[in-house]
Chains A and B, each alone.
Chain A
Amino acid sequence: MTAYTKPLPEMTPWSKKFWESTKLHKLSMQRCNNCGKLIFYPRKACPECWSLDLGWQEVSGKAKLNAFTVTMAGVEPVFAPDLPYVLALIDLAEGVTMMSNIVDCKPEDLKPGMDLEVTFRDCTDNISLPLFRPA
C-alpha cells in the first residue's frame, strides 16, 4: 500500500469504537441504551436524553444517495490527484445521514435516491474510511 497522505479523521474518545469497527470493515453506530436513539456522530452523552449509558450496534451498510457533487477544482494539493471525486450525503437504511465519497461509479451514473452500499478504504494500519458504491 502506498503511504496515505490525505488527512485522517481526528478522533474523539467517544468515536474510537466507530473506527475500530471500520478497521474490521464493519459500520457501527452508537445507540442510547436509555432512550433507544441511534446516535451519529458519536457523543459522550446521548444528545436526546443525556444518558451516559451508550452502546454500539452494527448497521447494514445499505443506503440511499441523498445529495452529491462532483468536485472538479479548488481543493488542497493532497486531494488534487483524486480529482474529479464525488462528495455525497448518504442516508443509511437505519435513519442516520453521513458524509462520504461515492466510488466505483461514473459521475454521469449518479442519481439522487439511488441504492448504495458501504465499502472500506484501508488508509493506514489504524484507519479505514467508510465509502459507498452503487448497490
Chain B
Amino acid sequence: MSKGKIAIVGIGEVPTGWYPERHEWDIIYDSCMQAVTDAGINKNEIEGVICSPAVGQPKLDSELVFGKLPEELGLKGCKDIVSVNGGGSTSANLLRMAEHWITTGIAKIVLIMHASKYSSIDPNVVIHTFATSGMSMEWEYPFGTTYNGMIAMLTERFMDKNGVTAEEMASIPVSFRKWAELDTNAMFRKPLTVQEVLSSRMASTPLHAKECNMLADGGGALIVTSPEIAGKICKTPVYKLGEGSRYCQATVTQRPEELMATQVKGAAQDAFREAGLTVKDMDILELYCAYPITMPYLLVALDVCKNGKEAMKFIEEGNTWPGGKLPCSTIGDALSRGHTGSGVGFAYLVETARQLMGKAGERQVKNCKHVLMNCSGGSGMNQIIEIFGRNLK
C-alpha cells in the first residue's frame, strides 16, 4: 500500500523528437539537471538512482544497468543505483522501487529517469526490434506481425462490434494533437484534422499512418522523496495516493477479448479504494493509449462512458480536448508526443506531476487536484492505475 508514502518534488524533461546529432548522455544530463534544479536540492543530496531500460539500445541500456549515471553526473551522495524494467509500465515500477528505498531508509532522496535515442539506429533494426519485442517468436512473428498489425486486428474488431466509423476513430488522434499543439516537448505539433488522418497512407487496415506511432528520442527525470522532506523543501509536492495493477497475459493473440477491460476495472478499483476517491474526483485522466483504440476501451473500463459507441461520441464532441469536460492524455499520447520506447509512461508521469504542480503552461488544467494515470507494458501484459494528488488527503 502506497497512500501518501512518497512525493514528487522536481521534474525535468527534454523535448521528444528526432535529434540524431544529440548524444544520448546529453538527454540524460539535461533532464536530470533540470529535475534537480526544479526540486531546489543539491545534486549530492540524491542518495539513490533508479533507471528505466533503454529498449532496443543495448549500449545505453548496459551503461545504465552497470551504474554509469551517478559517476558521470558526479552524484557524490549516491548510495546505490538499479535499473527497473516493466516495459511500458516501467514508470510505475520506478516509483514502487523509489517508495521501497525511501520508506526503508535505503535512500532519502531518489532520482528516477528515462532516456531513449532511436534516431541514430538503423531503421531496419528498429522495425525488427518492434516487430519482435512483445511478440511470440513461435506463434505470431512467423506470420508477419507488426505492432501496428496486432493493434489493427483489435481495432477492426472494436469498430465492427460497436458500429464505429473511420471518421470517429480519426477523432482520437485529433484529440491527442489538440494537446500537442500546446506542448513544446511534443514531436508533432501542427494542427491535425480528421480528413488528414484519413488521407494518410494505410498502414494496416483500419489503421492509417497517422494512427500509428513514430519512434523518437526523449528523456525525463523526477526527484522523489518522503512527504516529510517534501513538505520542507517543495511548495508544490505531488503525492501518490493510490495504485492498483492487474496482469493481462503476454501474448496478444491468446488474450481473451474481455480480459483487458476486466483487469483495468480491478486495478482501478484498488487504486480508487486506496485513495478514497472515485473517477468523478479526477481532474485529468492521463491515459497511456499508444494506439487510438485504447482510449475508448479505457473510458469504458473506468466507467466514464457506458460503451464503445458512447466513448467515441464523448471523444468526438471534444470532451477530452483542452477546455473539455474531462481532459485526457494531455501530452498528446505517443501519437503526437513521439514514442520513446519505455518512455511514454515516463512522459505521462512527468506530465502528471507538472499538471499537479501547476507548471503545465498553456496546457494547464485549472485547479487540478487529482490525476489518474495508467500504464501498460509489452503488448498490454499488464495495466497499472495510479492516482496522484496535490494534497495528502
A interface residues with partner B (beta carbon < 8 Å): 6-12, 15, 40-41, 66-77, 79, 82, 85, 87-89, 97-101, 107, 112, 129
The count of A-to-B residue pairs whose CB atoms sit within 8 angstroms is: 104
B138 touches A15 (CB 8 A): yes
Evaluate contact between B127 and A69: CB separation under 8 angstroms: no
Q: How far is the CB of B276 from chain A (nearest CB, A)?
A: 37
Say yes or no: B143 contacts A101, CB within 8 Å. Answer: yes
Whether A12 lies near B138 (C-beta < 8 A) is: yes
> Hey, which chain B residues are within 8 Å of A74, CB to CB?
127, 146, 148, 203-204, 212
Q: Which residues of A contact B153 (CB under 8 A)?
A: 67-69, 87-89
Which residue on chain B has the smallest CB distance to residue A11?
B138
- How close is A95's CB to chain B, nearest CB, in angstroms? 12
Query: Which residues of A sit under 8 angstroms from B105, Cβ to Cβ?
Result: none
A76 to B139 CA separation, bound complex (whole angstroms): 17
Task: Give the CA-CA distance A67 to B139 in the complex, in Å.
Answer: 16
B residues apposed to A, CB below 8 Å: 124, 127-128, 131, 136-146, 148-150, 152-157, 160, 201-207, 209, 212, 251, 253-254
The answer to whether A107 and B205 touch across the interface, beta carbons within 8 angstroms, is: yes
- In the complex, which residues of chain A have a beta carbon less than 8 angstroms from the beta carbon of B154? 67
Rounded to whole angstroms, the CA-CA distance of A112 and B153 in the bound complex is 11
A88 and B156 CA atoms in complex are apart in Å by 11
Within the complex, the shortest CB–CB distance from A83 to chain B, in Å, comes to 9
Given the complex, which residues of A lie within 8 Å of B140, measured CB to CB? 99
Separation of A135 and B145 alpha carbons in the complex (Å): 24
19 contacts across the A-B interface (CB closer than 8 A): A7-B137, A9-B142, A41-B136, A41-B138, A69-B206, A70-B204, A71-B204, A72-B202, A72-B204, A73-B203, A74-B146, A74-B204, A74-B212, A76-B127, A82-B144, A85-B144, A87-B150, A87-B152, A97-B253
* In the complex, chain A residues whose CB is within 8 Å of the CB of B155: 69
Extra contacts besides A70-B205, A87-B145 (10): CB < 8 Å: A6-B144, A9-B139, A69-B156, A74-B204, A76-B128, A77-B124, A87-B204, A97-B254, A99-B145, A107-B205
Q: Bound state CA distance, A40 and B124, in angstroms?
A: 31
A100 and B143 form a contact (CB under 8 A): yes
- Residue in A40, A77, A112 whose CB lies within 8 Å of B157: A112
Closest 8 CB pairs of A and B: A69-B152, A67-B157, A99-B253, A10-B137, A67-B153, A70-B205, A9-B138, A79-B144
CA A89 – CA B150 in complex, angstroms?
A: 9
User: In the complex, A128→B339 CA distance in Å?
Assistant: 36
Cα–Cα, bound, A40→B256 (Å): 13
Q: Which residue in B128, B142, B148, B205 is a CB contact (below 8 Å) of A129?
A: B142
Taken together as a complex, chains A and B put the C-alpha atoms of A12 and B154 apart, in Å, by 28
Docked pose: A39 CA to B202 CA in angstroms? 36
Closest B residue by C-beta to A130: B143
Known pairs A74-B212, A76-B127, A76-B128; A69 contacts B205 (CB<8 A): yes
A81 → chain B closest CB, angstroms: 11
B252 CB, nearest partner CB in chain A, Å: 8
- Rounded to whole Å, the gap between the CB of A3 and the closest CB of chain B is 16
| B131:A76 contact, CB within 8 angstroms | yes
Contact between B124 and A89, CB atoms less than 8 A apart:
no
Across-interface contacts of A67 in B (CB, < 8 A): 153-154, 156-157
Q: In the complex, which of the residues A71, A87, A99 contacts B139, with contact meaning CB atoms closer than 8 Å?
A: A99
B152 cross-chain contacts in A, Cβ below 8 A = 69, 71, 87
Q: How far, in Å, is A82 (CB) from chain B's closest CB?
A: 7
- CB contacts (< 8 Å) of A12 on chain B: these are 138
Chain B residues near A77 (CB-CB < 8 A) = 124
Cα–Cα, bound, A96→B233 (Å): 57
A71/B146 contact (C-beta < 8 A), A87-B153, A88-B153 known: yes
Complex Cα gap A70–B144 (Å): 11
A72 touches B205 (CB 8 A): yes
Q: A41-B136, A76-B124 are in contact. Are A129 and B143 (CB under 8 A)?
A: yes
Contacts A68-B153, A88-B153 given; indicate if A75 touches B139 (C-beta within 8 A). Answer: no
Bound-state Cα–Cα, A87 to B138, Å: 15
Q: Within the complex, which residue of B141, B201, B254 is in contact with A73, where a contact is CB–CB below 8 Å? A: B201
Interface centre among A10, A72, A98 (most CB of B within 10 A): A72
For B156, give its contact among A68, A76, A99 (CB under 8 Å).
A68
When chains A and B are docked, how far (Å) is the Cα of A112 from the Cα of B318? 31
Write the chain B residue with the least CB distance to A73.
B203
Query: Which residue of A is nearest B209, CB measured?
Result: A73
Most buried by B among A6, A15, A40, A68: A68
A9 x B204 contact (CB < 8 A): no
* Residues on the A chain within 8 Å of B138, using CB: 9-12, 15, 41
Contact A71 B141 (CB under 8 A): no
B141 contacts A7, C-beta separation under 8 Å: yes
